[in-house]
Structure 1
Amino acid sequence: MNSYFTRIPYWIKAIFPNQIWSLPNTNKEIYLTFDDGPTPEITEWILKTLEQYNAKATFFCVGNNIKKHPTLFNNIIKNNHNVGNHTFNHEKGWKTNNNNYLNSILKTEELIRTLFCQTLPKKNEQQLTKLFRPPYGKIKRSQTKSLIKKNYKIVMWSVLSWDFDKSINSETCLNNVIKNTQSGDIVVFHDNEKAFDKLKVVLPKTLEHFSKKGYVFKKIT
C-alpha cells in the first residue's frame, strides 16, 4: 500500500493543521466522500445506493468530468449531496507550479458554480460551500495558503478505503473501513472505474454495518 496510511496518524494531522482531517463529534456521524467523478453508470449507482440508506455524502469532482457529464453532476446536487473541487485534470500539487494549479482549481470552481445555480436556481451561489481536496493528497504549503486566502476549506481524510488498489480484495477494503472508522471520520472512496468492482461490494456493506450500529452519514459543509 505504498506510502499512504489506512487511518491517518495524529502526527500527520499535527503537521498540517490548516487541513480538515475529521469532523469530531459524539453523534455517531460519519462523512463518506467520493473522489474523481462524475463517472457514467458509477455515479448513478452510488447515488442509488446512498439513497437506500438515507445517506448523504460529499463528491470531490474533477472539472473535466463535470464538463463531460453535467447531468450526472446535476444529479448529485439534486439528491442533496455536497460537491467539492478536485482540480480540472486531477493535477498533483507537488508536481504542478502554483499558477497552473490555482488556475485549474478556479476553472473548476467556475464550472461548479454555474451548474449549481442552474440546478438550484432558488439558491444563492453564496450557499455553495468551497471545499477542495487535492488529488493524491499532495499539495504544497504555498498552494494551501493561496486556497485558504480564497476561502477554501481543504478537506483531507481520516480513513482511506484503498478501493483503488488492485493488490487488495473487497474483503480487505471493507475491513479497512469498518475496523478504522469512528464518529467524526471522513472516509475516502472513489467514483471511478478502477475502484468500482470493490466499491460495489464494500459501499453497501459499509452502509449496512454502520446503520445497524446507529450511525448516520452526513455531507461535509
Structure 2
Amino acid sequence: MPFFRTPAFLRRAFPSCYWQVPYKHTQRPTLYLTFDDGPVPEATPQVLRILDQYNIRASFFCVGDNVRKHPSLFREVLQAGHTVGNHTFHHVKGWHTSLTAYLKEVSLCRQIMEETAGTALPRLFRPPYGRISPKQLRALRQHYAVVMWDILTHDYDPRLQADGLLPQLKPLLRDGSILVFHDSIKAYPRMIRLLPAIIEAGLERGFSFATLEEGLAPALTALALPAAYRYEPM
C-alpha cells in the first residue's frame, strides 16, 4: 500500500524542509496544489485550463531542460499568475549525485528559468523523487525554501487508477496541506481526472487555494540568495 500522507519519521528526519505550510495568511483553511516535472505541451496546458476554470493559482516545480525546450509554455505558467520553483535541470536523483554536480543542476535550472522569465523568481526548490542527501540539503536550505509535501497523489503510477486513488486522498485534506501532482506525460491519465475532483472536494469543505509564494512568504523573505544564483536582466 503506497503512502499518501508523508510518514512522521520522514518529517522528523528532514525537519528543515516544508512538508506543510506553517504560516496563516488567510482566515480560511488553505490547500497548496503543486505540479512537478513540467512544463510539457502534452499536460501543462490542460492543467492551466483546469486551474483557470476554478480561478485557482498553484505552484509548478519545473525541470530546467523542459523550460529550455518549451520557453513559451513556461511563460504562460507565469502569465497565468502561478508560482514556479526549481526541480533541477535534468531531474536528477540526489542520492546518486555528488554535491558539486547537484548544486550545478540547481544553478542551471535557476539560470534558464530566470533568463526565460526575464526576472528573478521565488527561491523554491523541490528535490526530484524527494531524494536529497543531508549535505545537499544543508547547502541549499540557506538559499531556498526546500519544499516536500503533505499529500502525494501517486498520479505518476500507471498501476493505479484515479477512481481508486480519490477515496484515499479526499479524507487527507487539511489546512496547510501541500499536494503533489505531476504535469507530465506519464502522470497525465490519472492527474487529469484527479485534479478537478480534488479541487471540488476542497471547495466543498471550505478550503481556499494559494501558491507557495503566498504561503511561504515569511520564509522566502528571510532567505539570502547569493549573486551566483541571481539573474540580472540586461
Name the TM-score, length of structure 1 as normaliser: 0.91
Match of 1:49 in 2: 50
Post-superposition shift, 1:106?
A: 0.1
1:183 CA displacement = 1.1
Task: Name the residue aligned to 1:121.
Answer: none
Q: Answer yes or no: is the 8 Å Cα contact 2:42–2:185 preserved in 1.
A: no
CA shift digits 1:41-90 (9 cap, x unpaired): 31010001001111111000000000000011000100110000001111
Equivalent position to 1:16, from 10, 14, 25: 14
Match in the other structure for 1:153: 145
What residue identity is the alignment partner of 1:160?
L
Counterpart position of 1:219? 211
The CA RMSD measured in Å over matched residues stands at 1.4
Moved more, 50-59 or 8-17: 8-17
2:17 is matched by which residue type in structure 1? Q
Residues in 1 aligned to 2:168 and 2:130: alpha-carbon distance in whole angstroms: 18
Secondary structure at 1:194 match in 2: coil
3-state SS of paired residue (2:141): helix
1:130 pairs with one of 119, 123, 128: 123
Contact 1:77–1:83 (8 Å) recurs in 2: yes
Deviation at 1:176, TM superposition (A): 3.2
Q: Which residue identity is paired with 2:11? A: K
TM-score by length of 2: 0.86
Structure 1 unmatched ranges of 5 or more? 118-123
Q: Which residue identity is paired with 2:190?
A: K
In structure 2, the gaps of 5 or more residues are 214-234
Stretch moving more, 177-186 or 29-38: 177-186
The 10-residue stretch of structure 1 (151-160 or 199-208) with the greater mean CA deviation from structure 2: 199-208
Contact 2:173 2:202 in 1 (8 A): no
Q: Which stretches of structure 1, 4 residues or more, deviate above 6 A after TM superposition? A: none
Secondary structure (helix, strand or coil) at the match of 2:34 reads strand
- The answer to whether the 8 Å contact 2:18/2:148 transfers is yes
Write the distance in 1 (CA, Å) between the matches of 2:102 and 2:164: 34
- Give the aligned partner of residue 208 of structure 1: 200
In 1, Cα distance between equivalents of 2:195 and 2:98: 36
Q: Which residue identity does 1:206 align to in structure 2?
A: I
Q: Is contact 2:35–2:61 with CA below 8 Å preserved after alignment?
A: yes
- Of residues 156, 168, 171, the one that matches 1:179 is 171
Contact 1:177-1:187 at 8 Å conserved across structures: no
Pairs aligned (count)? 210
Deviation at 1:11, TM superposition (A): 2.6
